[in-house]
Amino acid sequence: MSHVRDEDVLADAIRSTDRVVLLAGAAVAAEAGIPARPPHLDWHVYGPRMRAIHATGPGPGHLAARHLQDLGLLEAVVTESDDVLFDEAGVRGVIALVGSVELSICPACGYNEPLGCLLDLLPEPRCAACGGTLRPDVSESARAEALAHAHAAVSRAGLLVLADAADAPESLRELSAATDTTVLVLGAEAPGATLLAAVGRLGS
């Protein structure tokens, strides 16, 4: 595992493979103005969070992933955040370890409400089918099925890029420790901007 801040070094590493797996921590969301995921699924916190996510656009890390995908170099994105900004950037098959705010679900009947409609139901969203209280489709820790998908993606990777500090959440650390592939750590300060700059250099 090596730390890299220099976009030329990162660009050279990306050139050596066509199977980059991006492990995105909270730092990538922070660059788009979205704070770290709150520990509890309280609507007083999640309501404003969902509004903020809905109102913002992809940040540099999300756009960098999209560019890698367009260049045919992206194997997968694994994100620890609950936002939908990689999806919004047009990245396909995002592995969201804890789920995302895209849906809110009714624990009583299973009905679900997409983010756009959910915002109209705040501050205490109720199920349109049974009147139960909805909750964001987000877990407090990584889901087993998503982790299995992430491990499979990591096993196919030619390069792992950890877009966060080395002391990123346990799930991302576990994934980056589970491979013999090169792991580059971008750090918590503007990792997406570093990656975007590196991707911009791939043609040169």
Residues engaged in binding Zn ion (CB under 5 A): 106, 108-109, 111, 127, 129-130, 132
| Minimum distance from residue 194 beta carbon to Zn ion (Å) | 44
Nearest-approach distance from CB 53 to Zn ion, in angstroms: 23
- Looking at beta carbons only, is 117 or 129 nearer to Zn ion? 129
Minimum distance, C-beta of residue 137 to Zn ion, in the bound complex (Å): 14
Angle between helices 191-200 and 7-15 (to 10 degrees): 60
CB of 111 to Zn ion, least distance (A): 4
Whose Cβ is closer to Zn ion: residue 117's or residue 178's?
117
Nearest to 13 by CA among 152, 193, 161: 161
Q: Cα-Cα-Cα-Cα dihedral of 121, 59, 160, 157, to 10°?
A: 70
Identity of the residue, 129 or 178, whose beta carbon is nearer to Zn ion in the bound complex: 129
Query: Is residue 125 reached through a cis peptide bond, with omega within 30 degrees of 0 on the bond before it?
Result: no
- Whether the CB-CB separation of 70 and 201 falls below 8 Å is answered with no
Separation CA 16–CA 39 (nearest Å): 38
For the chain, the farthest-separated pair of C-alpha atoms sits apart, in whole angstroms, at 58
What's the CA gap between 30 and 169, in Å, rounded?
A: 15
Q: Which is nearer to Zn ion, 110 or 200 (CB)?
A: 110
Q: Which of residues 93 and 110 has its CB atom nearest to Zn ion in the complex?
A: 110
**Least distance (Å) between residue 88 CB and Zn ion:** 27
